[in-house]
């Protein structure tokens, strides 16, 4: 018999129960959350584009032109000229031959890994990879090898013993830690073993690189170094959806074989048009990245002065390590009472005993918001939460 209520009670006792707060305002720094005004420190809308007037206008006029629904999958009659133009612009933006839109990042990862490897092949994944990358690896049916976080030497040894086609899969910027993958080394090792590298840059695109091209732009890695790039549109782009970029043959393979691409309805074309406007802002308004970098430095030095347990990240993802899940939830609730929205991230999203407050910064924050958060986090008060 299903005893769901007992299972739910167990989750609750372990501090692992998850619940949703209801937001009644647009995304931004100031949210109305369960009826209460709070300052937002947990969104992935790093550049403040989710509620940008130009993006909203592009969405509205495209809805007038295209309507709301796309009507079907891309391969039937859902692939509009808005989707097509966005794909061409994303390919140019990332310096790849082609790009292919997916409805979500989760689906892009599931679809891409399982289209590229299968029985007889081997997929290598960083232990701290996003759930969708791990799930994609498991779904593929390939031999599934996880390597210690960012440990190139360990990976090198695994690759030497592997069979079939080999695919190394990693987050670019790790979503719950904020640190970056050692991509130059990974790419060198991959070449040595005739492996491919797939990078999910959900948190780097728009944020890193002089033109917002993400971690690959920052590290100067091209399509020969990293064959498969995944980007999501719901984070720095402020809209919704995802894409994969790479060679002509890669994209054609995904169109033929990626089931989460083939068997799902295309994004609404108005989302694609809104995203084209986001992309222009990302490329032209580098002040947003500059400001975000400054705010990140400002937060880090303030938090260091307070002796808070920061992690190694230099990205706008700035987790504070807590350890126990119960304490992370208590800290998050304490901050909420003081008017700050900060998520408590717990297992299985992160490894056991490494629950944390995941603070994220946005170009829309001001130093004064950070001062207020640091005030609330000041050591004695932080310890009180725990």
CB of 35 to ligand PLP, least distance (A): 26
Is the dihedral angle over the CA atoms 206, 202, 25, 274 positive or is it negative? Answer: positive
State the residue number with the nearest CB to ligand PLP: 105
Task: Provide, rounded to whole angstroms, the least separation between the CB of residue 55 and ligand PLP.
Answer: 17
294 is catalytic: no
Residue of 136, 137, 231, 234 interacting with ligand PLP (CB under 6 A): 234
Would you call 228 helix, strand, or coil by DSSP? strand
Among 125, 171, 177, 179, binds ligand PLP (CB under 6 A): 171
Supply 173's token pair: 């910027």
Kindly tell me which of 242 and 250 has the beta carbon lying closer to ligand PLP.
242
If the CB atoms of residues 246 and 302 are measured against ligand PLP, the closer one turns out to be: 246
Nearest approach in angstroms of CB 148 to ligand PLP is: 19
Q: By C-alpha distance, which of 74, 70, 97, 86 is closest to 255? A: 74
Contact between 136 and ligand PLP (CB under 6 A)? no
Tokens representing 232? 């999501």
Q: How far is the CB of 265 from ligand PLP (least distance, A)?
A: 15
354 is an interface residue for ligand PLP by CB under 6 A: no
Q: Which of 83, 130, 145, 235 is catalytic?
A: 235
The terminus-to-terminus CA distance of the chain in angstroms comes to 38
316 lies in the site for ligand PLP, by CB under 6 A:
no
180 binds ligand PLP (CB under 6 A): no
Shortest Cβ distance from residue 203 to ligand PLP (Å)?
6
From the list 200, 217, 225, 273, which residue makes contact with ligand PLP (rule: CB under 6 A)? 200
Based on the shown chain and the rule CB under 6 A, indicate whether residue 175 belongs to the binding site for ligand PLP: yes
Question: Does 132 help bind ligand PLP (rule: CB under 6 A)?
Answer: yes
Which one, 128 or 370, has the nearer CB to ligand PLP? 128
Residue 274, judged by CB atoms within 10 A of its CB (0-12, 13-18, 19+), counts as buried
Name the catalytic one among 203, 291, 365, 369.
Answer: 203
Active site (annotated) includes residue 203: yes
- H helix intervals, the chain: 4-13, 53-66, 81-94, 105-116, 131-140, 152-160, 183-192, 215-219, 248-257, 259-262, 269-284, 287-305, 325-337, 367-377, 379-385
Distances (CA, A) of 383 to 266, 322, 355, 377: 48, 10, 15, 9
Rounded to whole angstroms, the Cα distance separating 63 from 57 reads: 10
Phi/psi at 78 (5° precision):
-100, 0
Residue 60 bears catalytic tag: no
Instruction: Indicate if the alpha-carbon torsion angle 296, 44, 245, 127 is positive or negative.
Output: positive
Which CB sits closer to ligand PLP, 109 or 296? 109
Question: For residues 27 and 194, what is the distance between their CA atoms, to the nearest angstrom?
Answer: 44
Catalytic residue among 175, 187, 195, 325: 175
196-200/228-232 β-pairing: parallel
- Candidate list 70, 94, 104, 170; residue touching ligand PLP; CB under 6 A: 104
Q: Are 63 and 69 in contact (CB under 8 A)?
A: no
Instruction: Return the residue of 232, 239, 315, 362 that touches ligand PLP, per CB under 6 A.
Output: 232
Catalytic amino acids?
175, 203, 235
Please report, as ranges, the residues that interact with ligand PLP according to CB under 6 A: 104-106, 109, 130, 132, 171, 175, 200, 202-203, 232, 234, 242
């Amino acid at each position: 018999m299903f005893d769901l209520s007992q299972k739910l009670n167990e989750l609750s006792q372990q501090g692992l129960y998850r619940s949703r707060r209801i937001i009644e305002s647009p995304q931004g720094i100031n949210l109305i959350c369960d009826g209460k005004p709070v300052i937002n420190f947990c969104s992935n809308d790093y550049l403040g584009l989710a509620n940008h007037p130009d993006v909203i206008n592009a969405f509205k006029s495209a809805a007038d032109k295209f309507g709301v629904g796309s009507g079907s999958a891309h391969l039937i009659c859902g692939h509009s000229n808005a989707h097509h133009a966005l794909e061409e612009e994303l390919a140019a933006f990332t310096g790849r031959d082609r790009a292919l839109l997916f409805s979500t990042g989760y689906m892009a990862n599931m679809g891409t890994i399982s289209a590229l490897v299968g029985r007889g092949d081997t997929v290598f994944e960083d232990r701290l990879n996003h759930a969708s990358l791990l799930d994609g690896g498991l779904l593929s049916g390939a031999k599934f090898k996880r390597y210690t976080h960012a440990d190139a030497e360990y990976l090198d040894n695994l690759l030497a013993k592997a069979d079939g086609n080999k695919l190394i899969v990693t987050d670019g910027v790790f979503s719950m830690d904020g640190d970056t993958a050692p991509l130059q080394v990974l790419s060198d090792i991959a070449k040595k073993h005739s492996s491919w590298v797939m990078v999910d840059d959900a948190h780097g695109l728009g944020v890193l690189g002089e033109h917002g091209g993400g971690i690959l732009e920052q590290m100067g890695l091209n399509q020969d170094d990293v064959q498969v790039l995944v980007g999501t549109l719901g984070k720095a782009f402020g809209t919704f959806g995802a894409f994969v970029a790479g060679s002509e043959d890669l994209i054609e393979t995904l169109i033929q074989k990626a089931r989460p691409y083939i068997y799902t309805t295309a994004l609404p074309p108005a989302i694609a048009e809104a995203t084209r406007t986001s992309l222009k802002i990302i490329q032209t308004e580098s002040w947003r990245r500059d400001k975000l970098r400054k705010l990140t430095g400002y937060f880090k030095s303030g938090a260091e002065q307070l002796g808070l347990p920061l992690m190694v990240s230099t990205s706008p993802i700035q987790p504070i390590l807590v350890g126990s899940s119960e304490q992370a939830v208590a800290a998050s609730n304490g901050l909420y009472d003081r008017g700050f929205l900060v998520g408590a991230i717990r297992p299985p999203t992160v490894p056991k005993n490494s629950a944390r407050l995941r603070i994220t910064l946005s170009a829309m924050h001001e130093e004064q918001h950070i001062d207020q958060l640091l005030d609330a986090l000041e050591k004695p008060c932080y310890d009180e939460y725990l």
